[in-house]
Structure 1
Amino acid sequence: MAENTEVVVVGGGYAGVTAANRLTQREDVRVTLVNTRPAFVERIRLHQLVAGSYDATTDYRQVLAERVRLVVDTVTRIDAAGRSVTLTDGGTLGYDYLVYAVGSGSAEPQVPGAALFSYPLASLEQAERLRPVLEAASASAPVTVVGAGPSGLETAAELAEEGRAVTLVCGGPLGPYLHARGRRSVARRLARLGVTVVDGPGTRVTEVTRDVVRLADGRELPSEVTVWTAGFGVPDLAARSGLAVDAEGRLLTDETLTSVDDLHIIAAGDSAAPSDLPFRMSCQAAGQLGAQAAETVLSRIAGRQPAPVNVVFAGQCISLGRGGGIFQFASRNDHANPLYVGGRAGAKLKEFVCKSTLKQLAGEARKPGGVTLGTQSLIKNTQRRDLLRTRHGSTPLTLP
């Protein structure tokens, strides 16, 4: 009987769980998922945890295949030459293949005072730290949310719907991904909730103190609680392990998501930089990249050439409190178009997406291989192909 192939998946978010589940298609593959927490975190609901409308965690056994072994620990180093990972307790796990799916988190803010006096909101622990701070503040206390991406919009709306006095500091345009029509819809919803939107030139934050947020145009905004949602970063595990990374610290891979340094290391999710041209950090991309990373591993085990990555985007879905939201449609190349669904219909669609994401993970756990991949779709990202040709001179699909 042939020996089992050992696969270690580092990171138990959307990409890591999808990859781990899909790898169980083969009976001779043994999968170990290493994650720092004992529960799956619904990161797209962290703003609800802060507001107290949802706990944002799910038991791993609801979304993880029975054959996947869960190790609650943190990987401190990857030994590519020895094909092993070191854990915080000093123990090691050997692997034949490793899926690098460590995700993303808050980037360390470079603005003076921000790290000391503001509260980031990109992880479960950060959300749990922020919630009691808000609960202790009076209902009339000024709350400033910095950042006008999805996290900032969702947090500002959620807190305003509770009756909080919220100011949203955009540092530029409101919802930069959105089409102008979608942006106007979001602005109307925030106005109805009472959110003060500070956007446009001069709204970059230059300093945060205990009770004031200062802007580039000289304005000073009173703030008893400052929530920082601007910017994301990735863990430095790959860089610390001597693997090639991009400027943001993502693992550099070819177009099959295979590390440029090692055929036995495959990346997925926010921490992957295929051909130094990463996809937008999102749950939407993470699931597809997790599935495709697993398929790359399975192809290599079977002696087949892995398929190049092909992520297909539908748009961006944002909740604006429990009573409103927006689904901003986009081209397959991830450019927002004039079409959107807003209001209560947008809120219902966002809730459907959140629930469907969990159902998809659970479905892949029960029936691995059930998720349709972008690589199997007739939709091909021609813009990505053109960008790769511009950057590299030819489309780099596989390693030499």
Structure 2
Amino acid sequence: MHTKTEVVVVGGGYAGVTAANRLTRRDDVSVTLINPRPSFVERIRLHQRVAGTHDAVVDYRDVLAPTVTLVVDAVEQIDAPGRHVILSDGSTTGYDYLIYAVGSGSAVPDVPGAAEHAYPIATLEEAQRLEPALDAAGAGAAVTVVGAGPTGIETATELAEQGRAVTLVCDELGPYLHQRGRRVVASTLARLGVTVASGPGAVVTAVTPHVVQLADGREIPSAVTIWSAGFGVPDLATRSGLSTDAVGRLRTDETLTSVDDDRIVAAGDSAAPSDRPFRMSCQAAGQLGGMAGDTVLSRIAGTEPADVAVAFLGQCLSLGRGAGMFEFSRRDDAPIGVHLGGRGAAWLGAGLKELVCWSTVKQLGWEARWPGRFRIPAFVGDPRRRAALREREVAATSDAVPVA
């Protein structure tokens, strides 16, 4: 009797759901998705969850193929030699192939007092802890947001639009943005009344229940401090004895296959292909999830998996409910200085951001119904990445040649 190939997907975010759905292209593959939450989290809406403008969760039935088995539990360890995972209750689940898509979360701050008195916002549980803290502080209480990446900027503008007194602390405002896009963001922050403390002296040195202390001696009153500076990844791969980079992402080759085990494939924020990981984002996660699924399907079929090919389009930011901006980029994620939104067209940027959030969930549902229909062709991948990898390979080959 023919036995189905068992594939376990660890993690039910953008990458994990896309990978699980992609695997349903074959009827002889049994897919199990293991995730600690019973609902899909729209991570790119967590700032709205905090502000009360969206709950940021979706029923898995709306994004996951019906043939995928959902197990609500946490994976404590991967036993690669034994080809099974150990769950939090001590039970095990076996696999023929495993897709590692555990995503990312908040980086553990090493600033004195930050772990005790600041609220991270990278996960649903963190957003849920922050909501009552803001309510208890009151609408007039001072709020400090540390970090001016997308999450920090979007959280600061969302709360300021509701009339809260917000200070945004950062070394550089939107470091990933082109200077033109940065001006748009700065103008909107000023219009909403957000105070920006930036520059070399704006490094946070301590957090107390009522004050954020900066390196230049400033003390910013803060009833609620929100920490959005940096991301980290779960240590599941490290605990399982798999090779990781310095951050903890699973090291893979360009097909997203673990350098330790060709039965393990990584996707999303927790993958480090060729030690050149992509920016942590849902934009990359969805593409990597589909490619991870394709890699497993290729191995089942006995064909050679394709190399990763991620193409970025740009960076989309909401700046409150009434404004936003979309900044275009090259395929390698470098901004080109062209954006939509800004002065006179803030509504356009806001509409584009909402369209991105809506369509991201819709794409998951489309993949569930028509797996593989919406794949990224290899030719759209970043040519600079391919060239850099070729140069590295040539250099490694040259170094390995013995001298006569």
- TM normalised by structure 2 equals 0.96
Change in Cα spacing, 1:206 to 1:389, as seen in structure 2 (3 Å) is farther
Counterpart in 1 of 2:402? none
Distance of 1:394 and 1:357 partners within structure 2:
40
Picking from 347, 372, 384, the partner of 1:344 is: 347
Checking the alignment, whether the CA contact within 8 Å between 2:309 and 2:379 is kept in structure 1 is no
Query: What pairs up with 1:167-182 in 2 under 5 angstroms?
Result: 167-170=167-170, 172-182=171-181
User: Could you give the per-residue CA deviations for residues 262-305 of structure 1, whole angstroms, max 9, x where no partner exists?
Assistant: 00000000000001110000000000000000000000000000
**CA–CA distance in structure 2, aligned partners of residues 388 and 211 of structure 1:** 49
AA matched with 1:178: L
Summarize the alignment of residues 1-400 of structure 1 with structure 2, pairs less than 5 Å apart: 1-170=1-170, 172-342=171-341, 343-373=346-376, 376-393=377-394
Cα distance in 1, alignment partners of residues 128 and 381 from structure 2: 41
Alignment size in residue pairs:
393
Matched residue of 1:112: which SS? coil
The CA distance in 2 between the partners of 1:385 and 1:23, in whole Å, is 27
| Identical-pair percentage | 67
2:360 counterpart letter in structure 1: T
SS in 1 for 2:185: helix
Once the two structures are TM-superposed, the CA of residue 2 in structure 1 deviates from its matched residue by 2.5
Is the contact between residue 41 and residue 58 of structure 2 (CA under 8 Å) also seen in structure 1?
A: yes
Check whether the contact 2:84–2:92 (CA below 8 A) recurs between aligned residues.
Answer: yes
Q: Is the 8 A contact 1:389 1:395 kept in 2?
A: no
**Quick check: 2:316–2:326 contact (8 Å CA) kept in 1?**
yes
Q: Which amino acid aligns with 2:84?
A: S
Asked if the contact 1:206–1:215 (Cα under 8 Å) also holds between the matched residues in 2, the reply is yes
Contact 1:211–1:222 (Cα < 8 Å) also in 2: yes
Q: 2:336 aligns to what SS in structure 1?
A: strand
Shift of residue 390, structure 1, vs aligned partner: 4.5
Residue identity matched to 2:128: E
**TM-score with structure 1 setting the length:** 0.97
Quote the offset at 1:392 in angstroms.
4.6
> In the alignment, residue 294 of structure 1 is paired with which amino acid?
G
Structure 1, unmatched stretches of 5+, are none
Residue by residue over 1:37-58, the C-alpha shift from the partner in whole angstroms, topping out at 9 and shown as x without a partner, is 0000000000000000000001
Task: Please give the secondary structure, in 1, of the residue aligned with 2:380.
Answer: coil
Provide the alpha-carbon RMSD of the alignment: 1.2
The answer to whether the Cα contact below 8 Å between 1:104 and 1:234 also exists between their aligned partners in 2 is yes
Distance in structure 1 (CA, Å) of the matches to 2:46 and 2:272: 25
Separation (CA, whole Å) in 2 of partners of 1:337 and 1:163: 33
Return structure 1 stretches of 4+ with deviation > 3 angstroms. Answer: 389-396
* 2:202 alignment partner, SS class: coil
Q: 1:394 to 1:67 in 2, by over 3 A?
A: farther
Q: Is the 8 A contact 1:325 1:345 kept in 2?
A: yes
1:395/1:191 CA distance change after superposition, 3 Å: farther
